[in-house]
Amino acid sequence: MSDHRISLLFGVHAHQPVGNFDFVMEEAHVRCYRMFLQTVERYPEFRFSVHFSGWLLDWLIERYPEDMERLAMMTRRGQVEWFGSGDCEPVLASIPHRDRISQIDTLSDKIERRFGQRPKGAWLTERVWESAVVPSLADCGIEYVAVDDYHFLCAGEPAGRLDSYFTTEEDGRELDLFPISEQARYRLPFSPPEAAVTWLEHLAREGHRAAIYFDDIEKFGIWPETYHWVYEQGWLTKFIEGVLASPLITTETYDEFHARQRTRGIVYLPTTSYIEMNEWTLPGAAARTYHALVEQEKHAGRFDERKAFLRGGMWRNFFMRFPESNWMHKRMLDVSAKLAALPPDRRTPEMQEHLHRAQANDAYWHGLFGGLYLPHLRRAIWNNLLALEAAIGGVSPRLTFPHVERRDLDRDGHDELFLRGNNLLAVVRANGDAALVELSDLALAHNFGDTLRRHDESYHDKLHAANGDNAQHGGIASAHDRVAFLHAIRPQDVEPDTRARGMFDDCWYPAEGPPRPINDYREDGELAFSTVICAGSLAKSYRMEHNRLTVRYHSQDAVGRVEIRLNVAMPSCDGYLGRYILENGDVPCGFGDHLELTAMRRLTLNDGVLGGNLLIEASQPLPLVARAHRTVSQSEAGFEKIMQAVELVFSWPLDGTPRELALTVETRRQPA
C-alpha cells in the first residue's frame, strides 16, 4: 500500500437528440445543466472536462447565454477542458470519413470561437469503437478519446493497468485511449458521496495513477430520483468537497494528465461498445440467450473474470435488427453521397447542417436510451434528410417527372422502385408484399411511411417479473436496475408483428377458410405486380402524377375480400392537432381514436404539426377501420406505449366478376 495521490479525471457528457421537444430540453437545463454548472462554479480547484454536442450547445447559447458565459468563465480560469466529437452526435463509425471530418471540425471550430479552446480530446458517441475512426479523429487534430475499460478487458488488458491511457494506430495515424472506469460509472452519483470518496482513496492507497470517469451529465439531475439526490440532498456538493479535502485525491483535466504522463503502451481494441449496449444490439431471442448466460455466470460468481468474453453484439447490428433503421441509414448515406458529388460552389452551409442533423445517432438505435421508438426523433432525421434532398434537387439537373429509378438501396436482396413526382417520392419494395416502404413529400419534408412495427424485445419479459423494488445499498437505483410503468400494458400490446408495417400491405380473406397475407406478388412490368388468389388473380400497379399517387387493383374470378392496409405516420400522433375530416367536412375524432366508416369515398388526415394534409380517395365506397398503432418500449423512465402511426384498413369485397379499384393518396400544404 502507498499514500500517493490519485488523479480524478472527471468528465461529463451533455447531449439532447436533434428534434427533441423544447420543454424536455428546458427541463434538462433547469434541473441538470444549470444546477451542475452553478455547483461546480463554486469550487475553482475542482478541475473537470465537458462535452456538449454542438446542436445542444447552439440551443443553450441562444436560450441561456448567462449559463454558457458561466461555463466560458470557468474555461478561461483553467477549470474546464472541452472535448469535441461530431457536431450533431453521430456514431462516427456509421458515417463516411468525409462526414466524420466535417462533423468533428464543425464542433471544434464552434468551441474554439465561443470558448477560446480547441479540443484535444473527443467523446465517442455511445462509446462505439471501430478502428476505422482513428484516421478521421487524428486528421482533425484529436489526440485522445475516452472509451470504456470494458473495451480494454476485451483486448486482454488486465484491470490493474487501466489507470492511464494507451496508444493505438490505424493507417499511419496515432490516437491515445483512456479507459473509463465501469466502477466509477456505477458509483457516481448513485452511492453515498462519502462512500465514493472513500473508494477513490482506496484506489490511491493501492497505487492507481488515475480514476477515469466520463459519463452522461443527465445522471446528475435528469435520471429518476437524481435531482433530489444530487442537489436537494447535496450529493454533488458533498462529493466535490470530499474530493478537495482528501490528501489522497487531486483533480486534473484529461489534457493535464495526458501532458505529464507517458502512454501505458500499444493497444488494439475490438469493435465494441459498453457492455449494456452490446446486449441491446441483439434480437429478442439472442438477447434472452445472452442474458441467461450472463446471469448464469453472475450466479456462479464468475462474471467479473469472464465478462470480457461475453461480448454480445455490435452497434451496427441495429441496422440488422430494425429494417426501419436500416432504411433511414441507407437513405442518409445516399443523400450524403449526392451532396459530396455536388460542385463545391453549389454546396451551402445549410446543406451541410441538414446532413449533420440527419446523422444524429439517437433515432437509429434502441436500448434503455436510444430513440428509435420515438417518432419525433425519427421525424427529425427525415425532416433534415428530405430538406437536404430537396435542396440538392434545386441545384442539380432537373429530372423529367414522373421519374423511376431501380436499385437495392438497403441491401436486403430486393430492389426498390423509386417513383418521383414534383415533390412526392414513393418507394415500392419489389418483394412479395409489393408495398410502399416510403412516401415522402419533399416540400413538407415528411415521410408518411416512417413507422415502426412491433418488434420482439427481450425486456418485454420484465413485464411479468417486475417487482418495483428499487432500493440499493443506501443510495438510489440506477436506471439500468429500475423497473417502472408509465402506462397499463396488456399481453397483446407486445405481440410482435409478423410482417412489415408499410403502406398498401394486402391480406386475402377467402369466402371460406382462414385469411392469409398477400406476400407472393410477382412483377408484371414496371410498377405492376400480380398474384394468384384461390381460383382467381389479383393485380396492382402504382402511378405518380405531380403530388398524387394512384394505386390500382384489378381482380379476376376471386370470391372473398381484400384488406388493404396503410400505416401512415402523422406528426401529431395522438395529440390534439391531428384529426380525421370526412367528405362532408365533419370531424369524427382524432388520430388516437378508433374510427369505423361503412362507406368511405374521401378522407382527409389533417395535421397541424405537419402544416399539411394527406387526402385519400377511393374510386368506390369502401368500409374503413382506422386505429392507432402503438408499440411498447422501455426507457430510463419506465415502460410506455407510444403511437407510431395511423393504421387504415380498407375492405374490398369481391364476388368473382372482374373488379377494379383505385386508391389515390395526395399531399397538400395548409395555407399560411
What is the CB neighbour count within 10 angstroms for residue 629?
19
Q: Return d(Cα 486, Cα 495) in angstroms, integer.
A: 19
Active site residue 216: yes
**CB neighbour class for 352 (10 Å; exposed up to 12, middle 13-18, buried from 19):** middle
Of the chain, the end-to-end C-alpha distance in Å amounts to 73
Task: List, as one string, the DSSP characters of 310-348.
Answer: -----TTHHHHH-HHHHHHHHHHHHHHHHHHHS-GGG--
Our CA angle for 485, 489, 493, nearest 5°, is 135
Helices of type H across 464-524 = none
Element (H, E) at 128: none
**DSSP reduced 3-state for 9:** strand
**For residue 487, what is the DSSP state?**
S
Bond prior to 402 in cis (omega within 30° of 0): yes
Task: List, as one string, the DSSP characters of 196-234.
Answer: HHHHHHHHHHTT-SEEEEEEEGGGTTTSTTHHIIIIIS-
**Count of positions (residues) in the chain:** 672
Pair 606, 580: CB distance under 8 Å: yes
Bond prior to 189 in cis (omega within 30° of 0): yes
What is the CB neighbour count within 10 angstroms for residue 592?
17
Selecting among 105, 109, 169, 216, the annotated active-site residue is 216
Q: Return d(Cα 534, Cα 195) in angstroms, integer.
A: 72
Element (H, E) at 506: strand 503-510
- The alpha-carbon radius of gyration of the chain (Å, integer) is 27
Selecting among 89, 126, 163, 506, the annotated active-site residue is 126
**Cell for 225?**
430520483
Element (H, E) at 665: strand 659-669
Pair 211, 9: CB distance under 8 Å: yes
Q: Return d(Cα 524, Cα 530) in angstroms, integer.
A: 7
Residues near 542 by beta carbon (within 8 Å), at least 6 away in sequence? 417, 419, 426, 428, 527, 549, 550, 551
**Cell for 600?**
368511405
**For residue 671, what is the DSSP state?**
P
Active site residue 583: no
**CB neighbour class for 390 (10 Å; exposed up to 12, middle 13-18, buried from 19):** middle
Q: Return d(Cα 127, Cα 130) in angstroms, integer.
A: 10
* Paired residues of 654 in beta bridges: 560
Pair 487, 640: CB distance under 8 Å: yes
**CB neighbour class for 505 (10 Å; exposed up to 12, middle 13-18, buried from 19):** buried
For the annotated catalytic residues, the residue numbers are 126, 216
